[in-house]
Amino acid sequence: MATFVDRVELQVAGGSGGHGAASIRREKFKPLAGPDGANGGRGGDVILEVDASTTTLLSYHHRPHQRATSGGFGKGDLRHGARGEDLVLSVPDGTVITAGDGTVLADLVGIGTRYVAARGGAGGLGNAALATTQRKAPGFALLGEPGQERTLVLELKSVADVALVGYPSAGKSSLIAAMSAARPKIADYPFTTLVPNLGVVEAGQYRYTVADVPGLIPGASQGKGLGLDFLRHIERCHVLVHVLDAASLESSRDPLTDLATIEQELAAYAGSLDEEAGARVPLMERPTVIVLNKTDLPDGTDMAEMVRERLAEREVPVLEVSALSHKGLRELSFVLGELVDKARTEMPEPEVAPIVLTPAAVDAEQFRVVTEQFDGATAFRVQGDKPERWVRQTDFANDEAVGFLADRLAKLGVEDQLLKAGAVAGSTVLIGPSDDAVVFDWEPTMVGGAELLGIRGTDRRMEDNHRPTRDEKREKQRERTEARMNRVAAMEAERRSGHWSDPSMDDETR
């Protein structure tokens, strides 16, 4: 079972936003007191954070799908939906995040460094937020937007001060075990080390970390052996240590040949690196130390004598050590400490990147209309952030919500652009991405069923009826009394004139 993973493909998704609520407040003696539907909560974000206690990406190898919680739905009485909780994923120091196409998105170095991998969707507006002076009682609310979904590649590049490179079974893991408290697996066969090992070395006032790069063989920079899987772990080191086997059992190998082969692979790999200019010293120009290991053996001693002068011509420190007997390890630890300390002081201070705001241009187009083939006929697709977002927020089961969408699109100028593009009544129009677009037969003026009841968004039951004042009531009472007295006076005048008639008898009976 794997215990160390330094490269994973992670699929992350932000939480969806909660839907808004469509509700009407009810009060005593006033059953329709106005809209009180609240907004939905925003979905949670997926955040990658560097954690000192995390050293591998193994957990994401077993669980490659991560999703944040969604926001709560809005409710009546202006009770807004709860915001979804952010999902914080711990990653090791030195994790590089790239997109599926290889674009580097973030380089997480330093404890506590964060990167928002997927943002949560916005919550939908409730009908209280949609109410206006013309739309006093919206009978609909907006839906919450889905969270952002992305596929990321996480690669771990160890943040070590010293990198040990060399052939398999050269003794790199033995050196780390002898110089630090690390206890890697050690055996007498090639490719014993299958994962990078890290160890902390203390030598006097110096304290630094050492890592080995396992599996380097000829062709490692092209993917042979385990080279490409672990060469990335030397990119951040300050010092390179070539560990040469002075007592190799293979007759075709010797320290000089091994050194030339490893340097050739490192140069080939360094040429493919895409580092920022000035960020670090080029890989092949960094301080180098040559270590002849296994010199406690007779064959190792003899080989060291044979190559000592040739290696001295390189003008780099050459040390003869033995991981088994600890010969020369103290001197090696101090030499590495001095080089690391010097490299740290020469490194430029990290500069905080300025915050650059790039607002959209004033004349930037908010959408565009393109023509394409759909079901064998010419269709018109509306592309743009606003139209696509409005479509995602619309409840198409609600006629009033569909009408509201039509009003927004018409106000944005979508109908005018469709006419300019050649669309006519009955043309097929698509809004949204190709895999999840809304398709409809376009009419220059979209009418929803709720419009037959009057102006969309209004309710006659909620119209503000004027309450008469006391003087107005007295005036109406006076008018009614005056009208009644006039009728009585007219009847009395008819009686006096002898022209009185019984309404129960018709003229013939009389």
Q: b vs e for 58-85, b when ≥16 Cβ sit within 10 Å of the residue's Cβ?
A: bebbeeeebbbbbbbbbbbebbbbbbbe
Same domain membership, residue 236 and residue 285: yes
- Say if 502 falls within a structural domain: no
- Say if 390 falls within a structural domain: yes
In the predicted model, is pLDDT for residue 11 greater than 90?
A: yes
CA-based nearest residue to 171, from 258, 246, 262, 249: 246
In the predicted model, is pLDDT for residue 454 greater than 60?
A: no
The confidence score (pLDDT) of residue 502 equals 57
The confidence score (pLDDT) of residue 448 equals 42
Same domain membership, residue 336 and residue 212: yes
- Say if 279 falls within a structural domain: yes
In the predicted model, is pLDDT for residue 274 greater than 50?
A: no
| pLDDT single digits (tens) 66-94 | 999 999 999 999 999 999 999 999 998 88
| CATH number of the domain enclosing 19 | 2.70.210.12
Same domain membership, residue 188 and residue 173: yes
The DSSP symbol for 171 reads S
Is 383:371 a contact under the CB 8 Å cutoff?
no
The residue type at 461: R
Same domain membership, residue 244 and residue 137: no
Examine the fold and report which residue of 95, 127, 156 is the final residue of a domain before the chain moves on. 156
| pLDDT single digits (tens) 108-161 | 888 888 999 999 999 999 999 999 888 888 889 999 999 999 999 998 877 678
- Say if 324 falls within a structural domain: yes
- As annotated, the binding site includes 166-173, 191-195, 212-215, 293-296, 322-324
Average pLDDT over residues 453-472: 62
- As annotated, the binding site for Mg(2+) includes 173, 193
The confidence score (pLDDT) of residue 129 equals 92
| pLDDT single digits (tens) 29-55 | 777 788 999 999 999 999 999 998 887
Contacts of 59 (CB under 8 A, 6+ apart): none
Is 44:69 a contact under the CB 8 Å cutoff?
yes
The confidence score (pLDDT) of residue 14 equals 95
Higher local confidence (pLDDT), 90 or 270: 90
Examine the fold and report which residue of 129, 156, 183 is the final residue of a domain before the chain moves on. 156
- Say if 487 falls within a structural domain: no
Distance CA(335)–CA(119), nearest Å, equals 48
3-state SS of 128-163 is HHHCCCCCCCCCCCCCCCCCCEEEEEEEECCCCCEE
In the predicted model, is pLDDT for residue 451 greater than 50?
A: no
Q: List the structure tokens of 114.
A: 């964060």
Is 406:468 a contact under the CB 8 Å cutoff?
no
User: Based on the number of CB atoms within 10 Å of its own CB, is 186 exposed (0-12), middle (13-18) or buried (19 or more)?
Assistant: middle
| pLDDT single digits (tens) 391-420 | 999 998 888 888 898 888 888 888 888 888
Same domain membership, residue 390 and residue 455: yes
In the predicted model, is pLDDT for residue 183 greater than 80?
A: no
| CATH number of the domain enclosing 404 | 3.30.300.350
The confidence score (pLDDT) of residue 10 equals 93
Same domain membership, residue 203 and residue 124: no
The confidence score (pLDDT) of residue 185 equals 52
The confidence score (pLDDT) of residue 266 equals 79
Higher local confidence (pLDDT), 216 or 168: 168
In the predicted model, is pLDDT for residue 457 greater than 60?
A: no
In the predicted model, is pLDDT for residue 461 greater than 70?
A: no
Same domain membership, residue 148 and residue 34: yes
Distance CA(234)–CA(104), nearest Å, equals 18
Higher local confidence (pLDDT), 85 or 269: 85
* Domain that residue 188 falls in: 162-346
Same domain membership, residue 300 and residue 233: yes
| CATH number of the domain enclosing 280 | 3.40.50.300
Same domain membership, residue 415 and residue 306: no
The confidence score (pLDDT) of residue 364 equals 65
User: Based on the number of CB atoms within 10 Å of its own CB, is 158 exposed (0-12), middle (13-18) or buried (19 or more)?
Assistant: buried
Average pLDDT over residues 249-261: 80
Same domain membership, residue 149 and residue 176: no
HSE, CB side, 13 Å, CA atoms: give it for residue 360.
6
The DSSP symbol for 504 reads T
- Say if 499 falls within a structural domain: no
The confidence score (pLDDT) of residue 377 equals 84
The confidence score (pLDDT) of residue 217 equals 56
The confidence score (pLDDT) of residue 101 equals 83
Same domain membership, residue 335 and residue 235: yes
Tell me the percentage of the chain whose pLDDT exceeds 70.
79
- As annotated, the binding site for GTP includes 166-173, 191-195, 212-215, 293-296, 322-324
Average pLDDT of the chain, as a whole number: 80
Taking only Cα atoms into account, the Rg of the chain, rounded to an integer number of angstroms, comes to 40
Higher local confidence (pLDDT), 277 or 104: 104
The confidence score (pLDDT) of residue 230 equals 57
| Strands of 7-13's sheet in order across | 65-67, 7-13, 149-156, 95-99, 104-108
Same domain membership, residue 120 and residue 206: no
Average pLDDT over residues 7-23: 93
Q: What is the pTM for the complete model shown?
A: 0.66
- Say if 471 falls within a structural domain: no
Contacts of 460 (CB under 8 A, 6+ apart): 454
- Say if 493 falls within a structural domain: no
Number of H helices, E strands in the chain: 11, 18
> What is the per-residue DSSP string for 41-95?
PPPPPEEEEE-TT----HHHHH--EEEPPPPPPPBTTTBPPPPPPPEEEEE-TTE
Domains in the chain, number: 3
